[in-house]
Amino acid sequence: MQLKHLNQMPYKHLLVSQELETKIAVVQLNRPQALNALCFELMDELIEALEALDKNTDVNAVVLTGNEKAFAAGADIKEFAERNVTQMLLEDRLSQWKRIEAISKPLVAAVSGFALGGGCELMLHCDIVIASETVKLGQPEINIGVMPGAGGTQRLTKLVGKFKAMELVLTGRFIDAKEALELKLVNKIVPVADCLEDAKKLAREIAAKAPIAARAAKAAIRKALETTLDDGLEFERQRFYLLFDTDDKKEGMQAFIEKRKPQWTGK
């Protein structure tokens, strides 16, 4: 497999690579000395990298991962410890998470070890989650005198319901792989050694589909979590109609009729 390492870009806390044949990219959080805590610099880099990949026409799906010990142990507490309310309001760092929400290509998370606080919230921004047997998820902000601030109270509640969300946010306890699967917080659990490869496999499968259709489908499924059924159905219908102007729609249907494999151009 031909791998292109994109670290000619000056990333201090990320490793970014791209598989040219399969059209996937892998973004690895790489701040192991702090369990991949999401310091401001890392967050800036992550957003820059994801936005660059979102624009890169040689990439159709992105895998986001950490290391075996931690996906990410949350916001960097040492940075937050210095801040007061005025600085938080003026800097408004958390509003930059909207830019991760806005990434239009499918994001597959490969999560091992700790995914806590902002790390769990980062996972919740992804579209599919492959987790390993060692995963420990949680929103432990209550233990340091704050609360989730990057969407945890909202996204977690929509996914697991009010009572479980209350329990997790108010106790800050960690949940293990079995419970994460039961709560439908992750798609599947695999051995640690297989986690990244499984996520890549899934990303390759998705990247081999018609890319504009995949992005439209992602947008429509996300819409379901934030709007009424009527508005969501309207959104879906509009996206569906729009796809009828793509070359890939013509190719996909023609290939079906001619009983051959479609050749997507991503147009």
Is 109 annotated as catalytic? no
Closer by beta carbon to ligand CAA, 69 or else 201: 69
Query: Residue 63 is encoded by which pair of tokens?
Result: 């895998």
Determine how β-strand 3-5 pairs with β-strand 14-19: antiparallel
- Which residues does residue 175 pair with via DSSP β-bridges, in sequence order? 137
In the complex, the smallest distance separating the C-beta of residue 159 from ligand CAA, rounded to whole angstroms, is 16
Please compute Rg for the chain using Cα positions: 19
Is 182 annotated as catalytic? no
Closer by beta carbon to ligand CAA, 12 or else 237: 12
Closer by beta carbon to ligand CAA, 149 or else 262: 149
> Considering only CA atoms, which of 136, 135, 137, 131 is closest in space to residue 194?
131
**In whole angstroms, what separates CA 90 from the centre of its chain?**
27
Active-site hit among 66, 118, 138, 151: 118
In the complex, the smallest distance separating the C-beta of residue 34 from ligand CAA, rounded to whole angstroms, is 4
Is 51 annotated as catalytic? no
- Rounded CA-CA distance 61/197 in Å is 14
Considering Cα of 188, then 190, then 193, then 197, what sign does the dihedral take?
A: negative
SS3 for 58?
coil
In the complex, the smallest distance separating the C-beta of residue 21 from ligand CAA, rounded to whole angstroms, is 37
Closer by beta carbon to ligand CAA, 35 or else 110: 35
Report whether 175 contacts 138 (CB < 8 A). yes
In the complex, the smallest distance separating the C-beta of residue 39 from ligand CAA, rounded to whole angstroms, is 8
Active-site hit among 66, 72, 73, 121: 121
Is 75 annotated as catalytic? yes
Active-site hit among 74, 110, 119, 141: 141
- Contact positions vs ligand CAA (CB under 6 A): 34-35, 37, 73-78, 114, 116-118, 121, 140-141, 144, 148-150, 152
- Residues classed as catalytic: 75, 118, 121, 141
